[in-house]
Structure 1
Amino acid sequence: MNYPNRNKNLESSSLKSGESGVDRRPLVLAVDDNHDNLELLRQILDLFGCECVGAVDGYTALSAAVDRVPDLIVLDICLPDIDGIELVKRIKQNPKLIHIPIVAVTALAKTEDRDRILQAGCIAYLSKPFNIKDLETILRHHLNYQSLLVEF
């Protein structure tokens, strides 16, 4: 069969260098030592159109972030090995990771806890249980990602 416009169509639809055929989903590293909380975060992030990598402790989270640099980190502060504040400091000391926005999602709800967490380098703070709309707002703002619109 003859396809007279075949080459022309292929040329006009070819991708420019550096473009991908599919929009890349933002990668979010979720860190929580409670497996139920981590699974809930994964499901919420998936609904928001994000790809999620999970970690249950600080060392695993740091290793995961170095291996595959995320666009954003959602971090529980109370972890079994190193606490979230120490993890934030280690992330901020790594030139490869320093730019990653970190959102604290924690049961620590005192004003002094919030201030300490933000001073450590987190860009936002949500206390558990958190409002899903608040997380969505933070994600949309810091990921510049408009496809996160989900009705709850």
Structure 2
Amino acid sequence: MAKKVLIIDDDNRNIFALSAVLKARGYHCLTAAGGEEGIGLLKENKEIAVVLMDMMMPGMDGYEAIAKIDESPDLKHIPVIAVTAQAMVGDRERCINAGAVGYVSKPINVEELTSLLIKYI
């Protein structure tokens, strides 16, 4: 079975780069340009194993989207890995406290991301 990963990011360059790296490692990627679209895809695709969530997006940001996922009985079991350009002291804790199971800062360390995906898929 293909390992489905949902990438939620408002920047097409990030989506393109992440998708290329993950596809090369055998993952099937779905993408959404924002939190609301991502939650819609999660509801439609029961095979999604993990979400890579950009935390800083216009409209519904990653924190709000994680909260919505956690509120849904059908979705709250799906692990969310925070992906953010913010690498300040306290950002990792803020993401984890918001409900993310892991945290990766941009530019993304592919080995770090892959080990997180293996852990949650």
**Normalising to structure 2: TM-score of the pair?**
0.95
Q: Structure 2 counterpart of 1:40, which letter? A: A
1:115 is aligned to 93
Name the CA distance, whole Å, in 1 between partners of 2:105 and 2:57. 15
Instruction: Show the counterpart of 1:48.
Output: 25
- Following superposition of structure 1 onto structure 2, how do residues 1-152 of structure 1 map, counting pairs within 5 Å? 24-69=1-46, 70-143=48-121
Provide the rounded CA distance (Å) in 1 between the counterparts of 2:41 and 2:73: 15
Q: How much identity, in percent, do the aligned residues show?
A: 32
What is the CA-CA distance between 1:112 and the residue it aligns to? 1.9
CA deviation after TM superposition for structure 1 residue 48, in Å: 1.6
Using the TM superposition, give the Cα deviation of residue 111 of structure 1 relative to its aligned residue in structure 2, in angstroms: 2.2
Q: Structure 1: which 5+ runs fail to align?
A: 1-23, 144-152
- Offset of residue 88 of structure 1: 0.3
Q: Which residue of 2 aligns with 1:8?
A: none
Aligned equivalents of 1:88, 1:56: Cα separation in 2: 15
Query: 2: CA distance between counterparts of 1:38 and 1:133?
Result: 17
Higher share of residues assigned strand:
2
Structure 2 residue runs of 5 or longer lacking an equivalent are: none
Secondary structure class of the residue paired with 2:5: strand
User: Superposition RMSD on alpha carbons, in Å?
Assistant: 0.9
Provide, for residues 30-78 of structure 1, a one-character-per-residue CA deviation record: whole Å limited to 9, x for no partner.
Answer: 0111101101111111112111100011110110111113100001001
Q: Which has the larger radius of gyration?
A: 1
Read off the aligned partner of 1:120 and give its amino acid letter.
A
Deviations 1:83-116 (A, max 9, x none): 1001000001111111111111101111222211
